[in-house]
Amino acid sequence: MVSHSQHLLIPLEVLAKSVKSFIGNTVPGKANKNYDAKVRFVQKEMDDIAEIFDYVADLMKHLDMYCDKPSLRLDGVVYELGLDIYKFVFNITNIIADKCRKIPELQEKKVIQDLNWSYRVENNIGKHDVFCSPYNVPITTMQGFIYAKDIALAR
């Protein structure tokens, strides 16, 4: 049972390529005097992402694999792996709505006054919002959740 039924799916490859680009554009060569500081900065950013996304360690360990259209064969059908960003967009929207309500110049604006009060941080979706049995864990694909019995690498 999923605690929300909305999905905003992006290919997992997009996240991986974004992370790879972030690292490549942030961390200079090892000879650079700022190398250690930049590596620590990247690690902190990835640790922060891990607060909301469980698979950061695996993503970092196999980054090149995730950058190459990661797919699994689920019950005999090949699916491209996806990332559901609905929860992140929803939660950020709630944070922004709460902050806008506290800014005097914005709280008087019609768009802020007309915000439904369901847009509050108190209504944010938690990190773990999918309930399942240990023997039937959903896999997020570009077609949504797949509850597969037979799981294999697609390549």
Q: Whose structure tokens read 């059908």?
A: 77
CA distance 42 to 19: 10
Q: How confident is the model at residue 125 (pLDDT cuts 50, 70, 90)?
A: confident
Residue 75's nearest CA partner among 123, 146, 129, 138 is: 146
CA distance 62 to 4: 29
pTM across the whole model: 0.80
**Tokens read off for 27:** 């961390």
Q: What is the pLDDT of residues 32-71, one digit of tens each?
A: 999 999 999 999 999 999 888 888 999 999 999 999 999 9
